[in-house]
Amino acid sequence: MQVFVPLDLTPDETAGYLKDLTEGTEESEHQWSFLAAEIAAIAAGVGVEQIKGDQLSEATFHFSHPLMEGCDREVVFVCSGNNDWRAQG
């Protein structure tokens, strides 16, 4: 989990995020499926309308959410060095 979460999260926030995704409730399963779908869409370029930023230190993806029709999303990734890209909190 440490290699995935935004760098600006505290240990308590990281633990809370993990709990939100894995507690086994219908809501956590819903959150996990949405997150996984967004990651897959960005990785494949599906629904990505635009990528802004220098793409060396920052990249902002503008895309249509793959599971929510009519929902436009924007996710910012920053590189902290050593090619370590993370979503911006």
Q: What is the pLDDT of residues 1-42, one digit of tens each?
A: 566 677 788 889 988 888 888 888 898 888 889 989 999 999
How many CB atoms lie under 10 A from the CB of residue 61? 21
What total number of domains does the chain contain?
1
- Structural domain contains residue 44: yes
Domain carrying residue 35: 11-87
Residue 4 within any structural domain of the chain: no
Full-model pTM: 0.80
- CA angle centred on 29, ends 86 and 44, rounded to 5°: 45
In a domain, 3, yes or no: no
